[in-house]
Amino acid sequence: MNSVISVQNLNLVLGNETILKNISFEIKEGDYCAVIGPNGGGKTTLMRAVLGLQSYSSGAVKLFGKPHKSFKDWNKIGYVPQRVSNMDSEFPATVREVVCMGRSSGYSLFWKKDDEDIKAVNTAMALMEVQDLQDRRIGELSGGQRQRAIIARALVSNPEVLVLDEPNTGVDMEVQKKFYSLLRELNKEHNITIILITHDIGVVVDDIKSIFRVNQTLLMSDTPHEVLSCDDMSELYGIHAHLVDGYSHD
C-alpha cells in the first residue's frame, strides 16, 4: 500500500508550552485510523499540522509522498473540522450550496459549475442521502442531517483521505450508529482512507486498523482491542480508569 501521510519527528511549541513532542507515524492507502486522547492533549492540533492548517516547530510531513510545502493536490483530502455541523440556524445557505462549497475550493469568487461539478455534487448528496434536503437551509436541519450534509461537502472533491474531528458531537446514539456504518462503507467499498478523531473508541474498535493515542507524545497500537485495557487508558488520560461493558469510563 502507498503511503498517504508520513510524519517524522514533528514538534510543536507555542510560547513556552510544548503541544506536540517528537511524533512520527505513517498512514497508508485504505487505512482506517482512530485518534484518541484527553482534551487539550493535541489530537486536533496534530491533524491540523498535518493538513497545513497549523504551523509546527520542527519535523517533516509528507502527503502522498510529497513534502508539505510542495503538495498541491488538496482535493485528495476531505476535512470535517470539530463542531462545524453546529451552524447558526440563520445561516443563509441551502444544503446544495454548502455541498458545492467543497467543489469550489481553490476557484475564484466567480467560479461557475460545469457538468462534471454538478454530477459530483449530486453523487455526494446521494451517497450521504441528503438529496431530498438539498433546497433546505443547512441551519434548519437536525444534527444528523447536518452532519451528513457537511460530510457530503468533504466528499464532493472525490478525496482519497477523509479526516473527521469528533463528528458525532451533538447527535443521538441512533444517528451515531448509522454514521459509523457509513464510515465503514466509505472505507471498505470506496477505499477511502479514514482518520477519525474521537472519544467513542468502543463503537469503532472492530472497524479500525490502528489507534493513535495522543497526549503531547504519540503511542500507537496496531491491535485496537489492546488499547481498551485499564492500564493503557489510565496512562493516556492521566486518571484511574476501569472498564464497564466493553467501554472505558472515568
| Region 212-226 average pLDDT | 74
Helix (H, G, I), strand (E, B) or coil at 221: strand
Helices (H), ranges, the chain: 43-50, 95-104, 115-127, 143-155, 173-189, 201-204, 224-227, 230-237
pLDDT digits (tens, 9 = 90+) for 61-76: 999 999 988 999 998 9
Residue 65: phi, psi to the nearest 5? 85, 0
pLDDT of 208 reads 84
Q: Is the pTM of this model over 0.85?
A: no
Average confidence (pLDDT) over 232-238: 53
What is the reported pLDDT for 84? 63
Residue written as grid cell 504519540: 218
Please give the grid coordinates belonging to residue 206. Answer: 472492530
Burial class (CB in 10 A: 0-12, 13-18, 19+), 207: middle
Model confidence over 125-176: pLDDT tens digits?
Answer: 998 889 999 999 988 888 788 888 888 998 998 899 999 998 876 666 777 7
Domains of the chain: 3-89+160-249 (3.40.50.300)
In this prediction, residues 178-190 reach a mean pLDDT of 88
Is the pLDDT confidence value at 106 over 60?
A: no
Low-confidence winner among 65-79, 131-145, 178-192, 213-227 (lowest mean pLDDT): 213-227
Which of 34-43, 81-90, 122-131 comes out lowest in average pLDDT?
Answer: 81-90
